[in-house]
Amino acid sequence: MGLLDHKAAVVTGGAQGIGLAIAGAFAEQGARVVLGDIDRDRVASAAAALREGGADVVGEACDVTSESDMEALVASCVERYGSLDVMVNNAGITRDATMRKMTAEDFKTVIDVHLFGAWLGTRFASAIMREQGSGSIINMSSISGKVGNPGQTNYSAAKAGMVGMTKAAAKELAHLGVRVNAIQPGLIRTAMTEKMRPEVWEQRLTEIPMGRAGEVDDVAGVAVFLASGLSSYMTGTVLEVTGGRHI
């Protein structure tokens, strides 16, 4: 018996990192999963690797900033698996720079991928879930959206915006049986954080009461909780997965 038996999920940004770990954890709990990612080759090989482990997973090329791509992504889950029970809006990028150097395009692109992308995912997924009378939507925010990080005015704004969007959507959808929650990871070891300068990484580590960076599975476990019936009376919440940083 898995926590997500008979459920079908879509995970954006699922070709690597946190999204891929979430997909693997969902599959371990019995879910069938559609991975969406802008990296066509990587998402295909990520899905193939999970299938080799016995999971029922497919990879689809998709740009979360494209309305037609996102509509097609959620539709493909329903066509293939008969329902859409869990939507994880996880795709993300960084374009870090101080405001002196950040271009308007850097700002707009980051807002577009995180905030508009998650809004599209929430909108299209909830259209299906409201008809089903059930569903769980999980938006991948960041602790950067709570505290703000220098060099990340774009990213922090997008991640804080996702919290407001999550709460508004939760209120719109609660009476329809659809829950919407957000996760705010702290410092998690992925390709995204590998780009950080070593001295910045070391400085961030000193801020973490648990004394270590997070691993992708630390976030995936919380996503399983929010996706499953274990969190049946939770909506509009923001769960921090930070090892105690910035509490």
Q: Judging by DSSP bridges, how do beta strands 238-241 and 86-89 pair with one another?
A: unpaired
Angle at CA of residue 209, ends 208 and 215, nearest 5°: 55
Residue among 19 and 135 whose Cβ is closer to ligand NAD: 19
Q: Which of residues 167-226 bind ligand NAD (CB under 6 A)?
A: 185, 187-188, 190-193
Integer Cα distance of 6 and 200 in angstroms: 43
Number of residues interacting with ligand NAD: please give it, by CB under 6 A: 28
**Rg (alpha carbons) of the chain, rounded to whole number:** 17
Supply 50's token pair: 């999970």
Catalytic residue (choose from 69, 113, 155, 182): 155
Q: Report in angstroms the alpha-carbon separations of 79 from 17, 76, 172.
A: 27, 5, 26
d(CA 216, CA 239): 15
Q: At its nearest, how many Å lie between ligand NAD and the CB of residue 97?
A: 16
Nearer to ligand NAD, 128 or 140 (CB): 140
Residue from 122, 142, 156, 181 touching ligand NAD (CB under 6 A): that is 142
Interface residue with ligand NAD, options 65, 132, 134, 149 (CB under 6 A): 65
Shortest distance, CB of residue 19 to ligand NAD, whole angstroms? Answer: 6
| Given 39, 71, 96, 172, the residue binding ligand NAD (CB under 6 A) | 39
User: Under the criterion CB under 6 A, does residue 64 sit at the interface with ligand NAD?
Assistant: yes
Binding window for ligand NAD (CB under 6 A); candidates: 27-35, 87-95, 126-134, 201-209: 87-95
Nearer to ligand NAD, 109 or 132 (CB): 109
Site string for ligand NAD, 101-140 (x = CB under 6 A): ------------x--------------------------x
User: Is position 155 annotated as part of the catalytic site?
Assistant: yes
Q: Which is nearer to ligand NAD, 178 or 220 (CB)?
A: 220
Active centre residues (catalytic) = 155
Q: Which residues bind ligand NAD (CB under 6 A)?
A: 12-13, 15-19, 37-39, 62-65, 90-93, 113, 140, 142, 185, 187-188, 190-193
